[in-house]
């Protein structure tokens, strides 16, 4: 696997190294030793799969607060999407900055989202399937989020509102106030 550090501290783009022959190909998508060599958490307690039916749908921006902060390993299995991370960590040098990567089902790319970083995705085509592993169990009482169109963050979505499709929960997340100081991961 090839690890590329991203501009948000602790976030990585991880690319498979595929071995191909006449039968097909094989690639490793996880190795605890390689994760440890890059200082990444590797004990995942939950694996989730989601399917997004319509192009333009946005899921997120989601994160969990202490004591249930979580790191995630996110991968697109089918279709294509824009994966966005926003640094919500108090005191981080990249506080409220965002970073995005296009992920595809056949691209062999994943993103590692560190604790205290919110994430979202936008489907770039119909019928997108994703899988992500988390280091902490889902804890609804510790779940938080912020609006995908928050002007303090200023994400440049490829499919802009009003074409974006959101859940009622994601649409109801508040805008970040000027008093928002971040979270402790």
Instruction: Output 139 or 160, whichever has higher pLDDT.
Output: 139
Q: What are the tens digits of pLDDT across the range 29-49?
A: 899 999 999 999 999 999 999
132 included as an active-site residue: yes
CA 182 from chain centre, in angstroms, equals: 18
Q: What is the mean pLDDT of the chain?
A: 95
| Strand arrangement of the beta sheet that strand 117-123 belongs to | 98-104, 80-87, 117-123, 58-64, 143-145
- The answer to whether the peptide bond before residue 162 is cis (omega within 30 degrees of 0) is yes
Mean pLDDT confidence for 152-170: 88
Band (pLDDT 50/70/90 cuts) for residue 18 is confident
Which of 12, 63, 112, 132 is flagged as catalytic? 132
Q: Which of 2-6, 12-16, 17-21 has the lowest mean pLDDT?
A: 17-21
138 included as an active-site residue: no
pLDDT beyond 70 at 162: no
Mean pLDDT confidence for 75-81: 98
**Beta-carbon contacts of residue 43 (< 8 Å; ≥ 6 apart):** 135
List the structure tokens of 130. 């994703």
């Amino acid at each position: 696997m090839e690890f590329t550090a991203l501009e948000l501290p602790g976030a990585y783009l991880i690319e498979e190294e595929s071995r191909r022959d006449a039968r097909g190909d094989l690639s490793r998508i996880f190795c605890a030793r390689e994760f440890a060599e890059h200082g990444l958490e590797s004990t995942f307690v939950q694996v989730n799969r989601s399917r997004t039916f319509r192009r333009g749908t946005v899921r997120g921006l989601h994160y969990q607060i202490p004591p249930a902060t979580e790191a995630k390993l996110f991968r697109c299995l089918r279709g294509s999407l824009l994966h966005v991370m926003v640094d919500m960590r108090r005191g981080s040098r990249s506080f409220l900055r965002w970073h995005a990567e296009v992920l595809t089902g056949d691209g062999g790319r994943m993103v590692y989202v560190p604790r205290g970083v919110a994430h979202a995705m936008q489907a770039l085509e119909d019928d997108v399937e994703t899988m992500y592993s988390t280091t902490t169990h889902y804890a609804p009482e510790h779940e938080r989020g912020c609006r995908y169109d928050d002007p303090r963050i200023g994400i440049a979505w490829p499919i802009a509102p009003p074409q974006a499709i959101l859940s009622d929960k994601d649409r109801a997340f508040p805008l970040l106030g000027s008093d928002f100081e971040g979270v402790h991961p």
